[in-house]
A and B are shown apart, each in its own frame.
Chain A
Amino acid sequence: MSTDNVAHPHSAHVSHHFKDATQEYDSGKQGIWLFMVTEILMFGAILVGYGIFHVLYPAMFAEGARELDWRLGFVNTLVLIFSSFTMALSIQLIQRNKTKQAALALATTVLCGAIFMVIKYFEWTHKFHLGFYPGRFLDVAKTHAEHANLGMYFGFYYCMTGLHGLHVLIGMGLIVWLLIRTIRGDFHSQYWIPVEGVGIFWHIVDLIWIFLFPLLYLVG
């Protein structure tokens, strides 16, 4: 195999096709940001759809929003904001080689994600219990819905929170993976690209929730 193209000394972490750690770091960071652009566009499109129908059926959307418990949504917002903080903290700690504390911070982040999902679970099952199914499955008699098409509001609600929840689950999986690698000692002051990448993902997922919460729970 050719070796004379390895003009630059490779540190242990730099993959074969990068010249140095800086190039690898910059590429990774740009890659994750571009990916986030696609995520934002995807959620953006469904928000546009939500916006359009909100304008078309303001009263119906108001009725839907009344059925949501803003307190639960608010608690979840706080939980996520806190988890963003612990996520950011973990990167700081790794950069200062404080592996143990970093692992703790990551574990807290996962825990927050879990709390978020548990609250979501109770919200959803409670809605089901009351008959607030999406779309044509909405139980109009049981829910005493004023607007026959209220199911559309809940269609949006389940799609948006469902898609977001799926992202939270994926994020939790990624953070668990980071946690294992942190404990194994893979990350340190010279190398933390994956932690930062997942961190950015997590922040964006939080950010999207911060848009969803007022739109679904408060507006109307």
Chain B
Amino acid sequence: MGNHSSAAGENYLNHEKGLWSWLTTVDHKRIGLMYMITVMFFFLVGGIMALLLRLELFAPNTVQGVGQVLKNGDIYNQVLTYHGAIMVFMVIVPGIPAILGNFFLPIHLGAKDVAFPKINLLSWYCFMAGAALAIATFFTHKIDTGWTFYTPYSIRTGTSTVLMVLGAFIMGMSSVLTGLNFIVTVHKLRAPGMTMHRMPLFVWALYSTAILQMLATPVLAITLLLLAAEKIFGVGIFDPALGGDPVLFQHFFWFYSHPAVYIMILPAMGIVSELIATFSRKVIFGYTAIAYSSLGIAAVSFFVWGHHMFVSGQSATAGIIFSFITMLVGVPTAIKMFNWVATIYKGSVRFDSPMLFALGFLFLFAIGGVTGIMLAVLPIDVHFHDTYFVVAHFHYVMVGGTLMALMGGFYYWFPKMFGKMFNESLARLSFVFIFVGFNVTFFPQFVLGAMGMPRRYFDYIPAYETLNKISTVGSWLILTGFLFGLYTIVQGIRKGEKAPMNPWGAKTLEWQTSSPPPHFNFDVEPVVTAGPYEYR
């Protein structure tokens, strides 16, 4: 689409200038970048915490020096809580939708913006305000409850649960607003010819995620408010001393937080679908199956929360039912896996760095998924509950799954977002370090868990030492990988060659506008005449 404005070099980055124009922007692309910077910052903070935790676990506490990096169990618990809470609420949940979703969903649909641009900006401010409150607890009384805020401990501990929980509440609002915006945009703002069944799979994934965000987050919101009320006024709902029921808190909490793990993973699956289609140069196998399995996963995810509570004292019948339904989630997930593999099969596959991350995703997510099914088996979970097996499982899903996809998507769309190319060799190097480091860090934890090492402990018996050492060394490899990644990005933005309109030869709409896109995304409103992956 040759045209005068992009020829004149006008794009969303230079459309307006100055910090103020960014802080007041209603352009979804700029808001996406603002999220990118803030989320990357939180990732750094959460990452430093992770390194500290691993450093502490490098040796048993009897070893002078390394064994006592964190002075005592209290400090370990605090670092653990901030690591978990920051990674979940400020990195992985907002991550893909808020950064890449914001940036590309409207462009994928051929729209000029999301349906409610001002609300989009508002949701960034909500996110920042919530994050600020949560971080503020760091300077008052550091909280040590773990990111799940389980009662009754969270109402008894003398720490700033209220502030933290309000922060999470406000970040939840931000998440709801983003989801709402996406749903309306998908329903109402598609370009002529863009039927629902011509939408890229990334959009389908974001759409399913948005439904989850809207349906699950309000329940978390009220749970957190009640927790705050409990702490301030001693309401009694969750406090056994006042006739309340702490397990009810767990029910409420996981009714949100289990769907939340799909809020974390569905967008990642969407990115992987894009990457696999583009780099296999083939019509994606089973488009509708992939699209609707997202909705299927979203639907089933509401009925499985009890698998977090097998040992909480819920009835045996409930346990059996939850165990069974949990395994059902495997069905739509497997559908996706098989479709991706079928697409790669006999495609003309190119192993550019984004594709490497997509393949990394497939591998790691498969391990995370299979161990998830293992944990869904009631007797196995009773054995593995709160051991490092669980820690390894959820890191394989969240980091190996979501973060891999985020990195892949990031490299994939980098040329479009910044109009520059990055250094491919550096990008591959970052992949190798992250992928290898990840397995070195977390695979031993499956073994540790099976051997019985409990999670959330800051010390262990000598029998666990070797595997813990390996795991900690792995965390340094991951660090190296991300530093390479950061360097690749910064270097690309500063010195990269100018990116062409469509460096990967992809078919979705964003590649048919200039890099970086103009302020209104397209100079001429696109008219869609075919599906998103029409390779022959």
Q: B-contacting residues of A (Cβ < 8 Å)?
A: 1-2, 4-5, 7, 15-18, 23, 26-27, 30-31, 34-35, 37-39, 41-46, 49, 52-53, 57, 133-137, 149, 151-152, 155-156, 158-159, 163
Instruction: List the 6 closest A-B pairs by CB distance, nearest first.
Output: A155-B235, A136-B234, A135-B234, A149-B243, A152-B236, A17-B113
Our pick among B114, B215, B242 for the contact of A152 (Cβ within 8 Å) is: B242
The one of B113, B188, B520 in contact with A5, judged by C-beta atoms closer than 8 angstroms, is: B520
Residue contacts A-B, CB under 8 angstroms, 11 given: A4-B3, A5-B524, A17-B114, A18-B189, A31-B181, A135-B233, A152-B236, A155-B235, A156-B237, A158-B235, A163-B225
Which of B15, B112, B116, B233 meets A16, CB within 8 Å?
B112
Does B495 count as interface, using CB distance less than 8 angstroms? Answer: no
Is A137 touching B523 in the complex (CB atoms < 8 A)? no
Give the number of A-B contacts (CB < 8 Å). Answer: 143
> Does the CB pair A155–B236 fall under 8 Å?
yes
Can you name 13 extra interface pairs (CB under 8 A) apart from A34-B184, A152-B235?
A2-B10, A17-B115, A18-B189, A27-B189, A30-B183, A31-B119, A41-B215, A45-B222, A134-B235, A149-B243, A152-B243, A156-B237, A159-B225
Q: Complex: how many Å from CA A62 to CA B5?
A: 71
Q: Of A1, A57, A137, A156, which contacts B519 at CB under 8 A? A: A1
Q: Is A46's CB under 8 angstroms from B226's CB?
A: yes
B344 to chain A, nearest CB (A): 37
* Given the contacts A34-B184, A149-B242, A42 and B234 also touching, CB distance less than 8 Å: no
B229 touches A155 (CB 8 A): yes
* CA distance in complex: A118, B114 (Å): 40
Nearest residue (CB) in B for A153 is B236
Provide the residues of chain B in CB contact with A136, threshold 8 Å. Answer: 233-234, 236, 239, 241-242
Say whether B115 contacts A52, CB under 8 Å. no
Chain B residues near A137 (CB, 8 Å)? 233-234
Residues in chain B near residue A52, CB distance under 8 A: 245, 248
A26: chain B residues at CB < 8 Å are: 188
Q: Which of A31, A49, A133 contacts B248 (CB 8 A)?
A: A49
In the complex the two chains form, what is the Cα distance from A17 to B3 in whole Å?
A: 19
Cα distance A163–B221 in the bound complex, in angstroms: 12
* Residue pair A17, B236 in contact (C-beta under 8 Å): no
Q: Which of B234-282 contact A (CB under 8 A)?
A: 234-237, 239, 241-245, 248, 252
A17 touching B10, Cβ below 8 Å: no
Is the beta-carbon distance between A45 and B237 smaller than 8 angstroms? Answer: no
Q: Is B180 an interface residue (CB 8 A)?
A: yes
- Does B330 count as interface, using CB distance less than 8 angstroms? no
Contact status A2-B3, CB under 8 Å? yes
Q: Give the residue name and chain of the A residue nearest to B255 (CB).
A: A45
Residues of B within 8 A of A34 (CB): 180, 183-184, 214
Question: What band does the interface of chain B fall in when counting residues whose beta carbon is under 8 Å from A?
Answer: 35 or more
Is B223 within 8 A of A149, CB to CB?
no
The distance in angstroms between the C-alpha atoms of A24 and B215, with both chains bound, is 24
Chain A minimum-CB-distance residue to B525: A5
Provide the bound-state CA to CA distance between A87 and B123, in Å: 28
Contact of A27 among B15, B184, B233 (CB under 8 A): B184
A5 to B527, CA, bound (A): 12
Interface centre among B111, B214, B235 (most CB of A within 10 A): B235
> Do B189 and A42 touch across chains, with their CB atoms under 8 A apart?
no
Q: For A17, give its contact among B112, B218, B219, B242 (CB under 8 Å).
A: B112
In the bound assembly, the distance between CA atoms of A46 and B181 in angstroms comes to 26
With a CB–CB cut-off of 8 A, which chain B residues contact A16?
Answer: 112-113, 520
Determine if B187 is an interface residue (Cβ-Cβ < 8 Å): yes
Do A17 and B214 touch (CB < 8 A)?
A: no
A42 contact set on B, CB distance < 8 A: 218-219, 221-222
Q: In the complex, A137→B232 CA distance in Å? A: 10
A50 CB, nearest partner CB in chain B, Å: 9
Interface string of B164-207 (1 = CB under 8 A from A): 00000000000010001101100111000000000000000000
Contact (Cβ within 8 A) B236 A149: yes
Q: Is the CB of A45 within 8 A of B252?
A: yes
| Complex Cα gap A39–B176 (Å) | 11
Closest B residue to A134 by beta carbon equals B233
Quick one: closest A residue to B256, CB to CB?
A45
Minimum C-beta distance from B314 to chain A (A): 14
B518 adjacent to chain A (CB < 8 Å): yes
Report which of B180, B184, B223, B235 forms a contact with A156, defined as CB distance below 8 A.
B235
Instruction: Report the Cα distance A2→B230, complex, angstroms.
Output: 55
Residue B127 at the A interface, CB < 8 A?
Answer: no
Q: Tell me whether B452 is interfacial, beta carbon within 8 Å.
A: no
In the complex, residue of chain A having the shortest beta-carbon distance to the beta carbon of B526: A5
Q: A7 vs B215: C-alpha distance in the bound complex, in angstroms?
A: 37
B515: interface (CB < 8 Å) = no
* Chain A residues positioned under 8 Å from B221 (CB to CB): 42
Of all chain A residues, which has the CB nearest B118? A15
Q: Report the separation of the CA atoms of residues A155 and B236 in the bound assembly, to the nearest whole angstrom.
A: 7
Determine the residue in chain B with the shortest Cβ distance to A148: B243
B484 at the interface (CB under 8 A from A): no
Q: Contacts A39-B218, A57-B243 hold; do A30 and B235 have CB atoms under 8 A apart?
A: no
Inter-subunit contact B187/A5 (CB<8 Å): no
User: What is the CA–CA distance of A173 and B242 in the complex, to the nearest angstrom?
Assistant: 37
Q: Which residues of B contact A44 (CB under 8 A)?
A: 218
Tell me which of A23, A27, A35, A151 contacts B234 (CB under 8 A).
A151
B238 to chain A: closest residue by CB = A49
Interface contact B243-A159, CB-CB below 8 Å: no
Distance in angstroms between the alpha carbons of A182 and B252 in the assembled complex: 42
- Nearest residue (CB) in B for A40 is B218
Does chain A have a CB within 8 A of B438? no
Are A159 and B10 closer than 8 Å at their CB atoms? no
**Cα(A7)–Cα(B524), bound, Å:** 9
Does residue B47 face the partner (Cβ distance < 8 Å to A)? no
Q: Output the nearest chain A residue to B111 by Cβ-Cβ distance.
A: A17
Residues from chain B with a CB closer than 8 A to the CB of A38 are 176, 180, 214, 217-218
Bound state CA distance, A34 and B186, in angstroms?
Answer: 13
Interchain CA distance A38-B180 in the complex, whole Å = 10
Instruction: Name B191's closest neighbour in chain A (CB-CB).
Output: A19
CB contacts (< 8 Å) of A46 on chain B: these are 222, 226
Task: A44 to B218: give the CA distance in the assembly, Å.
Answer: 9
Q: Are B117 and A17 touching (Cβ within 8 A)?
A: yes
- Chain B residues with Cβ below 8 Å from A158 are 233, 235
B252 — which chain A residues lie within 8 A by C-beta? 45, 49
